[in-house]
Amino acid sequence: MPLSPPPPLGARMLPEDSYKGQVVMVTGGGTGLGKSIALEFARLGAKMAIVSRKPENWRQGVEAIQAIGGIAAGASMDVRDAASVGACFDAIEAELGPVDVLVNNAAGNFEVPADRMSPNAWRTVTDIVLNGTFYCTREFGIRRLNAKKGGAVLNIGAPYAATGGPSTSHSAAAKAGVNNLTWSLAVEWAPDNIRINDLAPGFFPERDRSTHAVEAGASAANLDEQIARRLTTIPAGRVGSARELGWLATFLCSGYANFITGQVIVLDGANWLRRWHSQPFENIRESYDRRAAAAQAGSQ
Amino acid sequence: MSLAPSLPPGTPMLAPDVFAGRVALITQPGDVIGAAIAAELARGGARIVLADNKAEGCATAAAAVAEVGGSARTVSVRLSDAEAVKRAFDDIERELGPVTILINNVPDRADIPVELMAVDRWRDTTQAVLDVTFTCTRELGLRRIADGQSAVIVNSGTPYNITGGAGAADITAAKSAIMNLTTSLAVEWAPYDIRVNGVAAGYVAGAEAGPAPEGELGATTPAGRLGSPHEIAWCVAYMCSPYAAYLTGATIVVDGASWQRPGRSPPLFEPIRTRYDRVANSG
């Protein structure tokens, strides 16, 4: 028996207009989980700022929010470039007003054993995840401190930040850095009423994710196979629905959570808590090679 | 210079029927947090049962439930006695139906250094915290596994799970064990749709125990204030709601980032930038 299914898409957890008058920025908010999180804030009345590197991505997010009657603006941002981050904040704030809530969702990840990982691969992932989160958070923090206004930051983390991530060591190291940054800044900025938390999702499959293929050989096309395989290993007996992330995100950034800061919360149906004997060990490098070869054979 | 104040008590968060038809059992509800949780679950439409070793331990929480227009059934039972707890569940469920929300509340205790801590106090604390939580949790689990009904449990954790709780070694050790139990049971019982989570409350206004007077305590925290009991209750309400259907094995610390700051007692916390500026200017 799986964990109960969530309430339907569109169900509102918090009171209507909980975010009325507030501007919420979601990096990487045009596709996948970022878009789903943005939609839940929009349902509660927030003015949404959807930023991503590619215009075609943030446009998707803006259109999705407008389609449910929400307010959204989009802009391009490369989170790896502090100057681009500042310029993007300027553009968004000129259109919507000051950003009250920042969701650091932009990320990059792909499976590769460390011995096959090029220095460039390491730099790219850590640059997006760790440096990008810092640049965006710093830009947001400076603006809120100068304005003498509080705010909330939500980092989107990963359960494997706590356990290590064999075959995604670049992402795991960077996400662990993000967790630690969450703790440091929670203390630094609490006196100025800026809260910062981290939400670490388990497996939340999304068909429109721009960079979904974390596993070698995985693609949006074979998502059903991926889900079926994962279902045999997740204690919850079901995968997550993106709206469940959105509900927790909107709770954590709301006034109901005014005393919650510096928290890393894993939302994964207890998957990361499984002990080793619940799952046979797999040699990461061998399984990577096997799946990569199978994917290559399938594409020929 | 502090985190924003708590929203006023009674500010509605979830829909008023979110827990309609459900029976919520709150054990050891005698502190301000137990009362706030009982009131918040009642506000969501749950039928409230309060259980403590002595009936008078339920009085404050029962009054809080009445204040929001609910009514609570109170049960006097030795909560560490498995047989007595089983009989109490029999009575409750015969009258009200299956318990599907269990809150294992643990009121705080006054600080005491270990060298002054009698062995009896250690045993008393670990029994009140760990044995009671295990006994009530196991009884609920047995019942819901047997009848296939979904349930949710919220345990009481500690912000000092990682750093230790100097001055409160007994309760910190026991609550840390509960946090570990929370993670074990989350995996064991996920296949039965029984979610197990925890809330670790920092110091809240109105709590009877603490290492220093309330006025001093708030100033020593990064948040610049103590928590409100209702802030703990809102977090619990979220965890019990269907919106948290995928959340299990998580203990959320609600303490305004107090534990991340090394050092639990005064000297007064100095904001990072104030100190930075002072040191920079003194050079």
Taking only the tens place, the pLDDT of each residue in B119-135 is 999 999 999 999 999 99
* A183 part of contact set with chain B, CB < 8 Å: yes
* Statement: B23-282 belongs to CATH 3.40.50.720: yes
Taking only the tens place, the pLDDT of each residue in B205-244 is 887 655 566 666 777 788 999 999 999 999 999 999 999 9
Taking only the tens place, the pLDDT of each residue in B172-181 is 999 999 999 9
pLDDT at A219 over 80: no
pLDDT at residue A213 in the model = 46
pLDDT at residue B259 in the model = 87
Please indicate whether, in this complex, the C-beta atoms of A269 and B260 are within 8 angstroms of each other: no
For chain B positions 109-128, those within 8 Å of chain A (CB to CB) are none
pLDDT at A216 over 80: no
Q: Which of A259, A261, A263 is the mutation pick for testing B, counting most B CBs within 10 A?
A: A259
Nearest-angstrom CA–CA distance, A92 and A47: 11
Nearest-angstrom CA–CA distance, A129 and A134: 9
> Which pair of structure tokens corresponds to residue B17?
């029927």
pLDDT at A284 over 90: no
ipTM value: 0.87
Taking only the tens place, the pLDDT of each residue in B77-122 is 999 999 999 999 999 999 999 999 999 999 988 888 888 889 999 9
* B145 part of contact set with chain A, CB < 8 Å: no
C-beta contacts of A208-211 below 8 A and 24+ residues apart: A208/A31, A208/A32, A208/A35, A208/A60, A209/A31, A209/A32, A209/A33, A210/A30, A210/A31, A210/A32, A210/A54, A210/A57, A211/A108, A211/A109, A211/A110
| Every domain of chain A and the residues it spans | 23-299
pLDDT at residue B51 in the model = 98
A111 vs B23, more confident: B23
Give me the mean pLDDT over the A277-285 stretch.
73
* Confidence band, pLDDT 50/70/90 cuts, at residue A120: very high
Please indicate whether, in this complex, the C-beta atoms of A259 and B250 are within 8 angstroms of each other: no
pLDDT at residue A211 in the model = 45
pLDDT at A38 over 60: yes
pLDDT at A221 over 80: no
For domain A23-299, give the CATH number.
3.40.50.720
| Every domain of chain B and the residues it spans | 23-282
The catalytic site residues of A sit at 160
pTM equals: 0.91
pLDDT at B171 over 60: yes
